[in-house]
Amino acid sequence: MDKIYVEEQKKFYDQIVMLTGMVDPSKKAKVAKNALKDVTKGTGNFVKVNNKTIIKTATAPKKGGETVVGHALQKHAGRNPDIWGKVKGGSDQINQTALKHLEEIIDGPGGFIKIKNPKGIEFLEKKLPDGRGVRLNLDGTFKGFIDQ
């Protein structure tokens, strides 16, 4: 197994353990281990998505040569450069970098889950242990990046 993949699994395991704070302390490790097992197997309460739909809607053009995903990266990298890195170059380079982030999130461990925001609107979200994430509309179209 790839060393980086194992390290990511350990980070994700630690994150699950932190999130199970309301679980009986004697059962925390078991809950976290089962959740990690589901994630690494690609099971659990994940919603199936069409990766082609995500990519197609994310790479739709906007004004100024940016794509939807390129614009999303500029917003989030400006707020959280420690998570997304600094945005460099022209619109083509920004679009490429943004697409790379999106593909890494889609291909990363875990899956999409349905969430409801405080206003009652439902979305699909996937977050990685490194803090990057993506939000989709319920129809599987790209909504934007999220970070923790």
Q: Please write the tens of the pLDDT for every residue from 71-119.
A: 999 999 989 999 999 999 999 999 999 999 999 999 999 999 999 999 9
H-helix segments, the chain = 3-19, 28-41, 51-58, 68-79, 81-84, 91-107
Largest CA distance in the chain: 56
Measured CA to CA in angstroms, residue 79 lies from 84, 89, 147 at distances of 9, 18, 10
Q: Where are the domains of the chain?
A: 3-41, 51-147
Residues listed for the chain: 148
Average model confidence (pLDDT) across the chain: 82
pLDDT, tens digit, for every residue of 23-35?
Answer: 556 665 665 555 5
**Distance between CA atoms of residues 50 and 37, nearest Å:** 23
The pTM score is 0.70
CATH number for the region 51-147 comes to: 3.10.450
How far is it, in rounded angstroms, from Cα 123 to Cα 114?
6
Alpha-carbon gap, residue 140 to 52, rounded angstroms: 10
